[in-house]
Amino acid sequence: MRHSRKGFTFLEILIVALIFFVAVFTLAALYASCLTLLSQAKEIDIVTNDIKNVMENIKGLPFSSIMTNFPDGASVPGVYLLRNETLIVSYPSVTPELLEIQVEAHWLGRDNNEHQQTFKTIVYKGL
């Protein structure tokens, strides 16, 4: 008597289930990694906007009053969105005709690590 074999064996089903679960766990790990990167990108975007706002405020002042309103090494007061975010203005290069302005941001990220972002610009007395 011949038996026709229909369906799958238990071993075949186990192998397919194993492949399926490996794929699902790989995708879940990839998804979690993407969420972490998205969170970090959002923090960098927020701090970049905060630094740009401070830079615009500085550039809007008369040349002679920039260092008076934003003293070297002083923290810039404001309400910031990130945890423990501070912005510090410094002047790496000062001449009678130009100021090199550096705004440095420090904040505590969602990963509980301290992060830093620095922007520089130059302001000429004639502008």
pLDDT tens digits, one per residue of 71-113: 999 999 988 889 999 999 999 999 999 999 999 999 999 989 9
**Percent of the chain's residues with pLDDT above 70:** 95
Q: Using one digit for the tens of pLDDT, what is the confidence trace for 54-63?
A: 999 999 999 9
DSSP string, the chain: ------S--HHHHHHHHHHHHHHHHHHHHHHHHHHHHHHHHHHHHHHHHHHHHHHHHHHTS-GGGHHHHS-TTEEPP---SSTT-EEEEEEEEE-SSEEEEEEEEEEE-TTS-EEEEEEEEEEETT-
Give every CB contact of residue 59 below 8 A, 6+ residues apart in sequence.
121, 123
Q: How confident is the model at residue 2 (pLDDT cuts 50, 70, 90)?
A: low
pLDDT of amino acid 59: 92
